[in-house]
Structure 1
Amino acid sequence: MTATVSFTIDSPLGPRTATVAYERKGAGEPLLLLHGIGHHLQAWHPVTQVLAADHDVIAVDLPGFGASGPLPAGVPYDLATVAPALGALCAALGVERPHVAGNSLGGLLALEMGRTGLARSVTALSPAGFWSEPERRYAFTALRAMRAGARALPLPALDRLARSGPGRTALTGSIYARPAHRAPEAVVAETLALREATGFEETLAAGGSVRFTHDVPGIPVTIAWGSRDRLLLRRQGVRAKHTVPGARLVRLPGCGHVPMNDDPALVARVILDTAKAQRDDRGDGTPHTAG
């Protein structure tokens, strides 16, 4: 069941209150799951049950997405604001330094949380921020086109499209390797989430100048990329590995930009292995899987 929590965030305008929606299940070390731009926490549903067997899993709708409210007026949707806000969210839920797994925008936020000491391990699936300028423009153009299409479709037309494999491919082929295999109701729900995302434009605007250029030392980091990612091309994973040299770089064969739906078992294993690496840390700050 989805719940909401309100908490205070620091912003350039001073302390403000944010409210986000989340789902929580399982027991064990905490694991925070962060979706991509225009998506919602349901993106993680294919893997949450497996992850919850070992972890206290908290999947959130980022501010301005899904069922979460927007950030307060004037508060920027940038890394310097949103990553600490996620730390404040964790504190409000009684969680200290969770493992963090994120996809796309969520992967970028996960890395920033790791860099600033807010995460005990990081799994970043096709994270944003490792693009060249032409690659960024291509991705942003594709995202804007998806958003425009979602906003232009009347609900009856959306329902009709989602009932057929070719229709599901037209709606979500940019982010899944096998979009025709998606459930029609899931495609409708995520298209509506993209259409109604109040934080979409401001997040995209804030991301125009983003490049992740920092190392994330002292914790296990896995960067995983789908071999069929059509939005953020997989060569960006090589740049990410150069930027975070201690990270484990993993290829996700046959997966698209949102791999949790394309190969749930593989994605769950990658996340669980990263968290286990932190538990197996030798105590000198060097995880066994680094390198």
Structure 2
Amino acid sequence: MSRVASFEPVIADRFLLAKVGPMLAHERHGAGSPIVLIHGIGHRRQGWDPIVPLLVAAGHEVITVDLPGHGESPAYDAQGKDVKTYLAEVFDELYDDLGIDRPHVVGNSLGGLIALQGAMNGNAGSVTCLSPAGFWKNDLDFLYVRGLFRTMITAAGLLAPVAPRLMKHTFGKALGFSWLVQHPGRIPEDHALGDFRNMLKARPAVKQLFQGAYRFEGPLPVPATIAWAEHDKVLLPYQGRVAEQRLPEAFHTIMKGVGHVPMSDNPELVARVILESVARAAKGTGAAA
């Protein structure tokens, strides 16, 4: 029997669609020590919905955010700044406006790189990175990812007229998302269609975000967990070994049975990785044993 991730509508108790500082759309859920969840290129904050209730139940406030040019956030507008500087400033302002100081920051893909850079800037109490960008083995890794996104977004544009029908079926979801997730059939129809349309909306931002390859070197000043997807087809798993070499102070693990965007593949696993990371940070034991 196929398993479908629980994408129940997640209603924020505060600011269902708040736009602050640089006008990033976000949602706040629950109460407790804050955890900020940052998605990757071409995705949107609703991708975290399967794990939000699990983190809230563990006693945390959970904040999901749309990147500039994604979801319901305004257009990407770096005004001549490089990607790293612009996104760092965007999240600095967001945290100030939300009134949170050094939250636990969780990021997937580009979101992971944003989390890492935030830690270097003193804006994270801990970081949990799910297949983060920035650990290219060589330039070919970056060119592969850029080419993959360009190809899939072009294909999405061609399929747009029939997308509502495609997303009703497992084969249609596989056509659209098997490069991102291991189990595309677990994505509910409405979320699949929303993700598909968001990818098209995000095209201008994606183009700007791929202007250059950004490497992350460290060392990190805060406890960190780097969790790589076993079946990652975007940031290939050997990049996890590059991350281990560059960040020996972090805790490194493999997420079994999931793809690059793991939240719908196995919400319980992803939530456990995050909560264990936060617990290690609270004990001051962010590094691997």
- Answer yes or no: same fold by TM over 0.5: yes
Query: 1:73, CA displacement in angstroms?
Result: 6.3
CA 1:32–1:77: 2 relative to 1, 3 Å: farther
Alpha-carbon distance in structure 1 between the residues aligned to 2:130 and 2:41: 13
Choose the corresponding residue for 1:4, options 1, 8, 18. Answer: 18
1:13-35 Cα deviation digits (max 9, x unpaired)? xxxxx211001101111111000
SS in 1 for 2:67: coil
Matches within 5 A, 1:120-135: 120-131=125-136, 132-135=138-141
2:119 is the alignment partner of 1:114 = yes
Alpha-carbon distance in structure 2 between the residues aligned to 1:73 and 1:124: 24
Matches within 5 A, 1:1-291: 1=12, 2-7=16-21, 18-53=22-57, 54-72=59-77, 74-76=79-81, 78-131=83-136, 132-155=138-161, 157-197=162-202, 198-205=204-211, 208-217=212-221, 219-281=222-284, 287=285, 289-291=287-289
Alpha-carbon distance in structure 2 between the residues aligned to 1:70 and 1:77: 16
Unpaired stretches in structure 1, ≥5 consecutive residues: 8-17, 282-286
CA 1:73–1:123: 2 relative to 1, 3 Å: closer
Alpha-carbon distance in structure 2 between the residues aligned to 1:110 and 1:241: 17
Alpha-carbon distance in structure 2 between the residues aligned to 1:164 and 1:170: 10
SS in 2 for 1:109: helix
- TM-score when normalising by structure 1: 0.90
Q: Which runs of 4+ in 1 moved over 4 A?
A: none
1:210-234 Cα deviation digits (max 9, x unpaired)? 11122113x2100001111111111
Query: 1:289, CA displacement in angstroms?
Result: 4.5
Contact 1:65 1:199 in 2 (8 A): yes
RMSD: 1.4
Contact 2:224 2:286 in 1 (8 A): no
Q: Which stretch of the first structure deviates more once superposed, 179-188 or 248-257?
A: 179-188
- TM-score when normalising by structure 2: 0.90
SS in 2 for 1:199: helix
1:218-276 Cα deviation digits (max 9, x unpaired)? x2100001111111111101111111111111111111000111111011011111111
Query: 1:288, CA displacement in angstroms?
Result: 5.6
1:81-100 Cα deviation digits (max 9, x unpaired)? 21232021011011111000
1:189-208 Cα deviation digits (max 9, x unpaired)? 00101000141211121xx2
Contact 2:37 2:48 in 1 (8 A): yes
Alpha-carbon distance in structure 2 between the residues aligned to 1:73 and 1:34: 18
Unpaired stretches in structure 2, ≥5 consecutive residues: 1-11
Alpha-carbon distance in structure 1 between the residues aligned to 2:78 and 2:235: 30
Q: What is the aligned residue count?
A: 272
Contact 1:76 1:202 in 2 (8 A): no
CA 1:26–1:124: 2 relative to 1, 3 Å: same
Alpha-carbon distance in structure 1 between the residues aligned to 2:47 and 2:176: 15
